[in-house]
Structure 1
Amino acid sequence: MMKRLQGAILVGLLLSGTASAASIGKWNSGEINGFTRYWTTNNVGDNFVIWCHPERKVNGTLLHIEVDGQTPTPNTRIKLIMDQEILELPVNEQGYIDSGCATCSDSFGYVWHRLRAAHTMAVKFHDNRYAGFSLKGAKEILPGPVCPTDWQKKNPNS
């Protein structure tokens, strides 16, 4: 009973915080509590989400990926495969791919541009969980300018 009530409150907060939403192809965008969220869900319910918050200096820009209902194992690496190119990205202690270091920031910028240009995408976790995602609509829904990364927000003159 308590979990249902908490879930209803959370859904209410998220819905009340949504200022706008758009869908193009298999990709969506929306505003929630100051964050811009770009996401896609595949046919089996796996999620690939980009969270962007222009002012948050910590966990304001990150990738949140769920395969089989779970995020990747913390402190491992995932493989992001786009058009046969494999990128290995570090997973932080919360199970997200963040942009808080210089290398992470550069990787995020590159991933952003590849999402707009590639034709296919898949994710493979350290424990071999795997999911494919459509990029149909990604180029149109993701703006040309990349979300500012956490590292860029902390180091504006670098």
Structure 2
Amino acid sequence: MNRIILLLGVCLMIGASPAGAAEAGIWRSDTAHGYERYWTENRDGARFAIWCPPSHDIKAALIGIDINGRLPAPDTVVRVELNRKLIKFRVGHDGYIHNTCASCPDNLTYFWHQMRSAPRVMVLFDDKRYAGFSLRGIQKATPHSVCASQLSRNTR
């Protein structure tokens, strides 16, 4: 009887965890630390997130990709395949992709619109870590324009 209660308790804890509660492969949006976050998690536990700042300034947006529990190495290149196109992003000193270079906002805008029309995205780090993510539900989770305010998202 104690084993059954223990097993039931473990199942309930797993089901209540954020990873267990969120269906793998579905895109979500929420707010964390003042940033609007658009994110998904695949079945292997890899995460892909776009962080839009409270100012909605695309130059301050970040992309965070976690594969095998780690972000990419600083100052490397992340290769992303989307709609049979290869898009490269330079990783910052902290493992996040920043949009501070002159062409970065245009690159993120192009990437954002490609994501909204593609079925999946594939990511390759320089150290050969690789993950694929479904883009199911991304149109509902993200505004039409990159880092658009909540107000503009509700009026589209």
What's the counterpart of residue 147 of structure 1? 147
What's the counterpart of residue 30 of structure 1? 30
Runs of 4+, deviation exceeding 6 Å: 56-59
Identity of aligned residues (%): 39
Query: Is 2:75 the counterpart of 1:75?
Result: yes
Instruction: Note the 1:54-133 alignment, pairs <5 A.
Output: 54-55=54-55, 60-133=60-133
Which piece of structure 1 moves more, 56-65 or 43-52? 56-65
Q: Deviations over 1:64-123 (max 9, x none)?
A: 000111111110101011122111111111111111122111111111111101112110
Alpha-carbon distance, 1:56 to partner: 8.0
Structure 2 distance, partners of 1:28, 1:110, is: 20
Structure 2 distance, partners of 1:60, 1:82, is: 23
* TM-score normalised by length of structure 1: 0.73
Looking at secondary structure, tell me which structure has more strand per residue: 1
Instruction: Note the 1:7-22 alignment, pairs <5 A.
Output: none
- The answer to whether the Cα contact below 8 Å between 1:58 and 1:100 also exists between their aligned partners in 2 is no
- The answer to whether the Cα contact below 8 Å between 1:54 and 1:147 also exists between their aligned partners in 2 is no
Alpha-carbon distance, 1:59 to partner: 8.0
Which piece of structure 1 moves more, 40-49 or 50-59? 50-59
Structure 2 distance, partners of 1:146, 1:80, is: 18
Instruction: Report how many aligned residue pairs link the two structures.
Output: 126
Distance change in 2, residues 1:132/1:54 (3 Å): same
What's the counterpart of residue 17 of structure 1? none
Q: CA RMSD in A?
A: 2.2
Alpha-carbon distance, 1:62 to partner: 0.6
* TM-score normalised by length of structure 2: 0.74
Structure 2 distance, partners of 1:57, 1:29, is: 17
Structure 2 distance, partners of 1:115, 1:86, is: 12
